[in-house]
Structure 1
Amino acid sequence: MLHDEVIRVYVGTDRSQLLAVSVLEHSIKRHTTAQVEVIPMIDMDYPIPKNPKNWQRTGFSFSRFNIPKLAGYKGKAIYMDADMQVFKDIRELWELPFNGNKVLIQQDLKHTDITMKKDNSPVKRIKQCSVMLLDCENLHWNVNSIVQELDEEKYSYQQLMADLCILSEEEIGYTIPFEWNSLEYYDENTCLIHYTDMGTQPWVSTRNPNGSVWFQEIRDMLADGSLRLTDLKKEIDFGYFRPSLIRDIRYGKVVPKFLLGLFNRKNTALDKLKGYAPHKSVYQEKRKRINAVREYEKLNCPDAQEMG
């Protein structure tokens, strides 16, 4: 790595997770001496696919495909989701060799026997493209063209997002270790934890078994002045973070293990009393998409409606 090379990290996010991006940035920078630029990709204006089955699942799902353009089709870049936290030097990820590939993504899955038992886990865990190393000089992606090809049914949303079907198999390297996209799992080997189960992310739920790790990052930020308590309270007032988070930050570290269950139940009760609804805007968009799919199928697949 060149001494003056800047590691560019593009983060997919929406307004509700901007503070989570700050936590991610803090965790990256305190574990490296490299120059790092963290770029939140927010409020990007992308065309909407005609078929609502192909709509973005989040407000930033298509953002990763815009990175080469944002980087001027030069150098390389890292993509991450906002709901992550880093524990090792990001140069380990940055310096992975492409070996002729254009994109590097997750190598394998581990620890599913543990993470599938946690609250809000999915029916099945799959490898994700939520951490990517991109060779921007050799990726000529254009989001408008990608959406057009979705409309032309050249591929499905699932094939695009999970399989990266816009690249050939030879252009994809499966060499990012699980430890750099550790799905809901944390131990001494974890380089990056991904709080991928939305319903139990530490800032919206008391039920994440690794929540204390994220809380400590917040405490470190408050201690070094990179975050103010008023900033945290502002996100809570907006409804983006749960009201009980303040109690976790202030008292969670000193609560005895045998009282932790009671402490979390009180926090949950407080959130309920305050009328807190986690990821309210995300779930509103999900319902909107589900209703749009029904209407689309009613208009375009009447036979399927009758059979159903």
Structure 2
Amino acid sequence: MIIIRKVAELLDFVELQKEQGNAVGLVPTMGALHAGHLSLVERAVKENLCVIASVFVNPTQFNNPTDLATYPRKEEDDFKMLAEAGVSAVFAPSVEEMYPGGPDAQPRHEFELGTAAEVMEGRFRPGHFQGVAQVVSLLFRLCSPTRAYFGEKDFQQIAVIRNMIETEGIDVEIVACPIKRADDGLALSSRNALLSEEQRAVAPEIHKALEYSVVYSREHSVGATHDTVVERIDAVPFMRVEYFEIVDARTLLPVEEWDESPWIVGCITVYCGDVRLIDNVTYKKEI
């Protein structure tokens, strides 16, 4: 595995892969890697002759400066794990390398991301998905991947990226990979490392409440299912639901009845102490 810090070096590496006819798989990450990231890498290695993983904490997708400052960074550990997983190259640029004029330089391209970017995370984190689209589109341009791999824990992000590549005319296959969980059900996340011992002990209640709600939903309305999830999680020490939305999986717009869509998911964000955790569950998928 080679470590690439400069855009020019990355472009040369990608050009060589294309000349050799190698399919390129891209796994974008912000580092602090865990088994969830490695499951994406594992699939990418199986499906592509060349795999590039990025390790870059993108400042333009953080609307909370404290969240950016406290985001875990473990570059040496990340490089070791990626090498052992079979990655061909890791792209780990500086902020200055990615944004030569600075992350707030103008003019900045405004992406057409559709309604999927306006609800849930889009409502609570203004500008977040524009920042995601900015860095992901840049990585797509630099790496020219055949396929790009994202985890379904970030369900909304995948929908937004799909909209972006359609409106921007980017030729890449988006591969959505299943959520990787700890043995107790907690969705793996780099943010889990920020939880105290007491918070980590109760955090699995998020997944337990979502699982319970799937069974509950079979005999109850959308509204009642929503309310039982929020009530169960809010009753747990340290926990506070920021939002829970039951939505059409394609548009991410809320549904009021179970027969409104063939594919319905519930997306949730919970504060466990000061740590913001996300998860989702599928209620219905008939496609």
TM above 0.5: no
Question: For the pair shown, which has the larger CA radius of gyration, 1 or 2?
Answer: 1
TM-score (norm 1): 0.35
TM-score (norm 2): 0.37
